[in-house]
Structure 1
Amino acid sequence: MIQDSFPLGGELPVRRLGYGTAQLTGPGYWGPRGDPADAVAVLRRAVERGVTLIDTADNYGPSIAEELVAEALHPYPEGLVIATKGGVVRTGDDAWHIDGRPERLREMCEASLRRLRLETVDLYQLHRLDPDVPMAEQLGALDELRAEGKVRHVGLDSVTVEQLEAAMELTSVASVQNRYNLLDRASEPLLKVCEARGVAFLPWFPLGNGSLTSDPVCAYIAATHGASPGQIALAWLLHRSPALCPTPGTGSLAHLEENLDAGAVRLSASDLTRLDALTAAYGTSG
């Protein structure tokens, strides 16, 4: 039986199929994408459909995605969990650098709170560990923000097993975000640690950056379920581990509906065997 929810940080129940906001911005996460009213409509529809985890970041746009979240959803309904990220400074289309200095992390977090119209953000994720700043200083800055009531839970993005375990010696970690999907399971060891430690795993590129929507094996299985290949790829994640909480993003209402309908797909044992064999065939099983 598939678990529908996950207790983020051990206390915030979220629907495992959430919504990510990166696709509400332009190519390379830079600038606006289309009419802001369309983005607002997608965000509101996601919540109407029962999404309880909205994942965003200060550098999507930059700033644009967070502002759209607030415009669409503030005042936030009870039970809606807002997650954002900091630690990356974007300077152009796909151009960015990491900045994990404690003073900059504080500035970024406080700016996100203003844009999101929040006093406390439910989940604040370090978008990348800065190799030039000791981990203890970066996490210490987030702990200070948590002690001040500005951050409720802390998460990490793009980390190794060793980094996660080191971080958990320094502070409590509620979530990680790494690339993970049917064709890329290099982070499988990290997923196992998350399962064992009660840490949510929010996989980015859950649809393989679009490649899984046209995969022939996914298409074959999709046809037997009256579903789309993308829905099969998302359903596989939900079946794979109770710690996986995918947050696929889109700027299209139709695509949003399709993604969220994936939560109703129930894969058989033979389906899962075929899909696991597909992963192995691509040589990315980790």
Structure 2
Amino acid sequence: MTTFSTTLPGGTWTLGDLTVTRVGYGAMQLAGPGVMGPPADRDGALAVLREAVELGITHVDTAEAYGPHVTNQLIREALHPYPSSLHVVTKVGATRDAAGGWPPARSRDDLRRAVDENLDSLGLDVLDVVNLRMGDATGPQPGSLATELETLVDLQRQGLVRHLGVSNVTREQVAEARAIAPIVCVQNMYNLAVRHDDELVDELAAAGIAYVPFFPLGGFSPLQSAALTAVAERLGSTAMSVALAWLLHRSPNILLIPGTRSVAHLRENVAGAGLALSDADLASLDGIGRADVLAGPR
């Protein structure tokens, strides 16, 4: 498979020795309802993945827990053998239960098994980037991640993992992780309305570490704001496009991984991320999440 030489909004960022487009694609939505089971339209899911690569996207985010197993299998079917420019980023640290929950799976055996499963399902000999997922479904939780991260460092030394990241973590856990091993990315919930990581985003930018917001469009409940709608109407665009464009403007280390099941929506996301926002637009949008930031984490 080849890619078109398309210049995507925001340019590129470097994860360790890997160059990725700042506009990426998150594969979570390709699984069935509740991120469980297969997609209703398997051919459509494969088409979205192939279109992402055709558009020039070189960063695809996934996890063996999505489905479980489903999104990795789709990625392999659609894109393997992978273009040399394409980098698949996965995560470990959680599994799925019969009720669709996300129980932690962070023992040494759990993490080794998860890395092996990702290698097998993706058809790879080494994983480009593995994020250690901490916390739970409600968000980051305090506590040390040293034991878990050291397990991944050991797997890195064995040549199974190229680079490490952390996900669903507190600012203190990021600092702890960086003291243990080089970290190339942090993946937390962040968007126009969820701004608790503002200081962390800036700290990581100064250190050359990527910040990858999950739920950049608000998650399963899309972002809603009068200010966001007003900017979108003024630009003749959509609220979701404006939200993506704001993230690219927010900091150069922010990498986008919006997900979708639709080729048309994928193209809309890519085009929308490139919207030009004026200083007045940015000032208006910047105020959306400021009340929560001032109030602190809940």
Q: Helix, strand or coil for the counterpart of 1:97?
A: coil
Which of 74, 99, 110 is residue 104 of structure 1 equivalent to? Answer: 110
Matched, 1:122 2:128: yes
Query: Structure 2 CA distance, aligned partners of 1:81 and 1:268?
Result: 32
Other-structure match for 2:177: 167
AA in 2 matched with 1:6:
W
AA in 2 matched with 1:283:
D
Aligned residues: 283
Query: Structure 2 CA distance, aligned partners of 1:133 and 1:163?
Result: 7
Other-structure match for 1:64: 70
Query: Structure 1 CA distance, aligned partners of 2:21 and 2:251?
Result: 14
Render the CA deviation track for 1:66-109: whole Å, top value 9, x for unaligned.
11011111000121111011110101343121121112101110
Which of 227, 245, 258 is residue 248 of structure 1 equivalent to? Answer: 258
What TM-score, normalized to structure 1?
A: 0.93
Contact 1:6 1:13 in 2 (8 A): yes
AA in 2 matched with 1:8:
L
AA in 2 matched with 1:70:
R
Taking the TM superposition and a 5 Å limit, the aligned residue runs for 1:74-113 are 74-113=80-119
Query: Structure 1 CA distance, aligned partners of 2:61 and 2:99?
Result: 20
Contact 1:8 1:174 in 2 (8 A): yes
Other-structure match for 2:5: none
Query: Structure 2 CA distance, aligned partners of 1:232 and 1:221?
Result: 8
Question: Shift in Å at residue 132 of structure 1?
Answer: 11
Other-structure match for 1:49: 55
Other-structure match for 2:270: 260
Other-structure match for 1:204: 214
Question: Shift in Å at residue 133 of structure 1?
Answer: 9.4
Gaps of 5+ in 2: 1-8
Q: Helix, strand or coil for the counterpart of 1:185?
A: coil
Gaps of 5+ in 1: none
Out of 139-148 and 69-78, give the one that drifted further: 139-148
AA in 1 matched with 2:213:
P
Other-structure match for 2:13: 6
Render the CA deviation track for 1:101-132: whole Å, top value 9, x for unaligned.
11210111011100000001111111226989
Other-structure match for 2:44: 38
Question: Shift in Å at residue 218 of structure 1?
Answer: 2.0
Question: Shift in Å at residue 41 of structure 1?
Answer: 0.2
AA in 2 matched with 1:141:
T
AA in 2 matched with 1:180:
Y
Query: Structure 2 CA distance, aligned partners of 1:93 and 1:51?
Result: 34
Identity across aligned pairs (percent)?
Answer: 40
Matched, 1:221 2:231: yes
Q: Helix, strand or coil for the counterpart of 2:88?
A: strand
Matched, 1:21 2:27: yes
Query: Structure 2 CA distance, aligned partners of 1:255 and 1:179?
Result: 21
Q: Helix, strand or coil for the counterpart of 2:45?
A: helix
Other-structure match for 1:283: 292
Other-structure match for 2:159: 149
Question: Shift in Å at residue 238 of structure 1?
Answer: 0.2
Render the CA deviation track for 1:119-174: whole Å, top value 9, x for unaligned.
01111111226989963321121112111221110111111111111111111111
Contact 1:87 1:98 in 2 (8 A): yes
Q: For the aligned residues, what is the CA RMSD?
A: 2.0
For the structure 1 residues 95 and 275, does the alpha-carbon distance in structure 2 shift closer, same or farther, using more than 3 Å as the test? same
Matched, 1:234 2:239: no
Query: Structure 2 CA distance, aligned partners of 1:134 and 1:207?
Result: 30
Query: Structure 2 CA distance, aligned partners of 1:63 and 1:196?
Result: 36
Query: Structure 2 CA distance, aligned partners of 1:100 and 1:133?
Result: 13
